[in-house]
Structure 1
Amino acid sequence: MLERIRASLASLAPAEQRVGKLVLEDPRVFAQLPVTELADRAHVSKPTVVRFCRSIGYDGLADFKLKLAGSVSEGVPFVHRSVDSDDKTGDVMVKVIDNTVAAFLRYRNEASTAMLERAAVALSATYRTGRRIEFYGAGNSGIVAQDAQHKFFRLGITSIAYSDGHMQVMGATMLGPGDCLVIISNSGRTRDLMDAADIARRNGATTITITASGSPLAAAGHIHLAADHPEGYDRYSPMVSRLLHLMVIDILATCVALRIGSPLQPILQQMKSNLRSKRYA
């Protein structure tokens, strides 16, 4: 987060640069001070402090301070630790876990709550209107799409998952206004997924992409939920990125369940009761 501020300083207005320099001088203090004192210390107006936060990609001062506090607090460093060929089992365990925890904490501090809110609102609307959600992914992301479908159909929402490119194109063709398409991709460069996104958009469906920032797919949807993490493709298949995508799906499913509210409880209770017969006592 602090590196992002340093990299953005030169492109900011002079007044916003003063706010940025104030953050870099003492991030912990900045996260604790009220906006009036922050404005006084930076010699700017209170709206300028808020504009600075939005200029570097956050929803406002409260969102910025919350994530700033998390990024400077002690804990797992946000550093990707590559697994080496001579690592022992204990080393592999520590690196895999540290990479996962670091990615989750980084997402917590950098995710756009505004984009998550927009996605949750769009997905929730399908419950009220009786429309449907489709989840598309390829390879590892196809497995995440299946997990997403499993979570959302339990909420009483018509949902389906496709990992086959031909099925994705046909499914997108059947979507229309009020429907939602959620596309999951680590690279954001899979041709079939791009084709499906274009078709769904032309048909009026709301398209949500969970993928890497700056990728073609990130710009192909109405709502982009950034999921960025470096992966060593030359040594092992994507692991942390898949877990990151699963976490984003969990966040969305929880937000949608809360919006549905009390009508959902009897359904979940009945489902749990019906499943008891499938288990050994």
Structure 2
Amino acid sequence: MLDRIKASLPSLAPAEQRVARLVLGDPRAFANLPVSELADRAHVSKPTVVRFCRSMGYDGLSDFKLKLAGSVSEGVPFIHRSVDVDDKVGDVLVKVIDNTVAAFLKYRNDASTWAIERASEALAATYQTGRRIEFYGAGNSGIVAQDAQHKFFRLGVNAIAYSDGHMQVMSASLLGPGDCVVVVSNSGRTRDLMDACDIARKNGATAIVITATGSPLAAAGHIHLAADHPEGYDRYSPMVSRLLHLMIIDVLATAVALRIGGARLQPLLREMKNNLRNKRYA
């Protein structure tokens, strides 16, 4: 919730921005103070405080305070950082979705378009020369790698995904100049992925890494696509991180598709759709 408020700050009216900064400065106090005190501290009117809450998508101040109190709790270990043990299903729905939306908005505001541009250019160049594109991931990130392979396979790209550490190392050993490897990791500290990335890079392949800033893997690739989020990889189940990685893959696939060009892709995708029609009930 706090990440969502930060991401929305530039789009708010000046008076509502003062309320937002009050929330961000001391969320626990905001959740407990009366509206009159909040208005005085933010130097706004009481209706402005309520209007800010509604601008953020809540029914009013009471609803906003309820959700805010939940978002600044410690969460449930190994389940979700924003969810409390006594939350009702409605609370879980709001918290999980808000947490994800906030992470997406933060990524939209912080993402390096320069890095995405470099990554899409490298992938498109590999496609143009008929060289190999490989996706590596472990655990949940292995599922993201498989999704990436499926996305690029539909574009006619010679791509494959590996989630087994031995297969990653063996396949990376066969890569060379002109090939491209995309390594996905939440923590950026998985040894198998680090080993495979190092081998691919030493063999001359272009290494694109999708992982957290400051991690060992972030420094191991040629191109780093930062996937930063508030979800602790050692304490909570991967939820936001997995969705963020999938979104980054979607962005890459779309950017590469535009570089390949509609004249080449449209007939291919049209034929694929037509061939799939008899697989569905009318």
Give the unaligned 5+ runs of structure 2. 4-8, 12-54, 58-63, 65-70, 73-80
**Is the aligned partner of 1:263 residue 2:246?**
no
Change (3 A) 1:194 1:233: closer
Give the unaligned 5+ runs of structure 1. 4-25, 29-73
Measured after TM superposition, the shift of residue 230 of structure 1 is 2.1
Contact 2:187 2:233 in 1 (8 A): no
Residue of structure 1 equivalent to 2:248: 248
Quote the Cα distance in structure 1 between the aligned partners of 2:159 and 2:243: 21
Quote the Cα distance in structure 2 between the aligned partners of 1:226 and 1:118: 13
- TM-score, normalised via structure 2 length: 0.71
Contact 2:135 2:181 in 1 (8 A): yes
Contact 2:137 2:163 in 1 (8 A): yes
User: How does 1:1-281 map onto structure 2 within 5 Å?
Assistant: 75=56, 82-232=82-232, 236-261=236-261, 262-281=263-282
What's the secondary structure of 1:210's corresponding residue? Answer: strand
Q: Deviations over 1:90-140 (max 9, x none)?
A: 111100000000000000000000000000000001121001110000000
Measured after TM superposition, the shift of residue 233 of structure 1 is 5.5
Q: Which runs of 4+ in 1 moved over 6 A?
A: none
**1:149 alignment partner AA:** Q
Quote the Cα distance in structure 1 between the aligned partners of 2:142 and 2:128: 27
Aligned length: 212
Contact 2:186 2:233 in 1 (8 A): no
What's the secondary structure of 2:250's corresponding residue? Answer: helix
**1:273 alignment partner AA:** N
Measured after TM superposition, the shift of residue 85 of structure 1 is 1.1
Q: Deviations over 1:160-213 (max 9, x none)?
A: 000000000011011111111000000000000000010000000000000000
**1:265 alignment partner AA:** Q
Q: Deviations over 1:215-267 (max 9, x none)?
A: 00000000000001122557741101100000000000000000111201100
Residue of structure 2 equivalent to 1:44: none
Contact 2:134 2:161 in 1 (8 A): yes
What's the secondary structure of 1:166's corresponding residue? Answer: helix
Measured after TM superposition, the shift of residue 75 of structure 1 is 4.6
- TM-score, normalised via structure 1 length: 0.71
Quote the Cα distance in structure 1 between the aligned partners of 2:174 and 2:154: 22
What's the secondary structure of 2:135's corresponding residue? Answer: strand
Change (3 A) 1:276 1:123: same
Contact 1:135 1:161 in 2 (8 A): yes
Change (3 A) 1:217 1:235: closer
Change (3 A) 1:221 1:75: farther
Quote the Cα distance in structure 1 between the aligned partners of 2:205 and 2:56: 41
Contact 2:127 2:157 in 1 (8 A): yes
**2:271 alignment partner AA:** Q
Change (3 A) 1:171 1:234: closer
Quote the Cα distance in structure 2 between the aligned partners of 1:269 and 1:160: 23
Contact 1:208 1:225 in 2 (8 A): yes
Query: Identity of aligned pairs, percent?
Result: 79
**1:222 alignment partner AA:** H
What's the secondary structure of 1:263's corresponding residue? Answer: helix
What's the secondary structure of 2:105's corresponding residue? Answer: helix
Change (3 A) 1:248 1:27: closer
Residue of structure 2 equivalent to 1:34: none
Higher relative contact order structure (alpha carbons within 8 Å, sequence separation ≥ 6): 2
Contact 1:82 1:232 in 2 (8 A): no
Change (3 A) 1:219 1:232: closer
Contact 1:136 1:163 in 2 (8 A): yes
Q: Deviations over 1:23-68 (max 9, x none)?
A: xxx977xxxxxxxxxxxxxxxxxxxxxxxxxxxxxxxxxxxxxxxx
**How large is the Cα RMSD of the aligned pairs?**
2.2
Which is greater in Rg? 2
